[in-house]
Amino acid sequence: MGSPVAGDAAGAAPTWAPAATAKIHPGVQVFTNGAQCTANFVFTDATNVYIGQAAHCSGTGGNTATNGCTSGSLPVGTPVQVTGASKPGVMVYNSWLTMQALHEADPNTCQYNDLALVRLDPNDVANVNPSIPHWGGPTGINAAGTRVGDFVYSDGNSELRGGVTQLSPKQGVSLGDAGAGWSHTVYTVTPGIPGDSGSAFLDPTGQALGILSTVAIAPLAGSNGVGDVSREVAYLHAHSSFTTVQLVPGTVPFNSNQAPAG
């Protein structure tokens, strides 16, 4: 059976599909106006279930437009095709658009706040599980950052890999935090490629660490920039109507001992 998640007193809690058979989960591909990304975490409030993607997945300025305070984006209300869903989801929150409306001026926030929420159709909620494939979790949210050498864990399978699912799970290490804690630089054996953007990253204990945002040139070629999800969710709560949205823990226990193939 699926596992229930604690719900708000004002609304019934969803019952999650079994992780082994759920059609919608972290790591599925999402398509916004044809642009491919990877879903990260599942979120919920009293009335809706959301799946997260990177805000830049709806960007209109090309691959070099990464500053959320100056880069263009498709509007809130844009439909998003979610793999496994019977109907398109709807992008209801985008950190880039929110920052631009507020005239955000902090350079770290502008550069690294990269979260969008896609509201799933109610008919698709029964097919959702919040667990990270292969690894399990998340067990909560990391608000403390990482240290150099900390292991990190992710899952993503861009279509550019040709469906080779053995390359989906990724294990790597943190190269340290950046942007006053707004970003974490990580290196994995198979680094993120186009289509992996938005993938969830977990810390050594299975807590939600961040969201794959950029491929970096330095300090190590092929390293990835991972936006800090605790700060992104805090910004969501402080500057939008989604004040009760919470990241949902996985129903499968976190297990870092499952070595990936790649």
Residue 97 lies in a domain: yes
Contact 127, 84 (CB under 8 A): yes
Residue 47 lies in a domain: yes
For position 80, what pLDDT does the model report? Answer: 98
Of 158, 191, 156, give the one whose Cα is nearest residue 173.
Answer: 191
Which whole number is the average pLDDT over 94-100?
A: 98
Structural domain for 126, as ranges: 29-132+233-247
Contact 94, 110 (CB under 8 A): no
Residue 44 and residue 125 in one domain: yes
For position 192, what pLDDT does the model report? Answer: 53
Model confidence at 170, pLDDT cuts 50, 70, 90, reads confident
Residue 16 lies in a domain: no
Residue 222 and residue 242 in one domain: no
Residue 163 lies in a domain: yes
Single-letter amino acid code for the residue at 75: P
Residue 189 and residue 95 in one domain: no
Residue 10 lies in a domain: no
Residue 78 and residue 198 in one domain: no
Q: How many domains would you assign to the chain?
A: 2
For the cut 90, the answer to whether the pLDDT of residue 89 exceeds it is yes
Residue 118 and residue 185 in one domain: no
For the cut 90, the answer to whether the pLDDT of residue 28 exceeds it is yes
d(CA 108, CA 74): 22
Contact 126, 17 (CB under 8 A): yes
Residue 90 lies in a domain: yes
d(CA 231, CA 42): 16
Single-letter amino acid code for the residue at 144: A
Residue 104 and residue 78 in one domain: yes
Residue 208 lies in a domain: yes
Residue 163 and residue 103 in one domain: no
Give tens-digit pLDDT for 236-254: 999 999 999 999 999 999 9
Residue 113 and residue 204 in one domain: no
Read off the CATH number of the domain in which 84 is found: 2.40.10.10
Residue 254 lies in a domain: no
Residue 157 and residue 180 in one domain: yes
Cβ atoms within 10 Å of 106's Cβ, excluding its own: 14
Residue 215 and residue 86 in one domain: no
Residue 241 and residue 194 in one domain: no
Give tens-digit pLDDT for 189-218: 655 555 688 999 999 999 999 999 976 555
Residue 45 and residue 123 in one domain: yes
Q: Is 232 helix (H, G, I), strand (E, B) or coil?
A: helix
Query: Helix/strand/coil (H, E, C) string of 48-113?
Result: CEEEEECHHHHECCCCCCCCCCCCCECCCCCEEEECCCCCCEEEEEEHHHHHHHHCCCCHHHHHHC
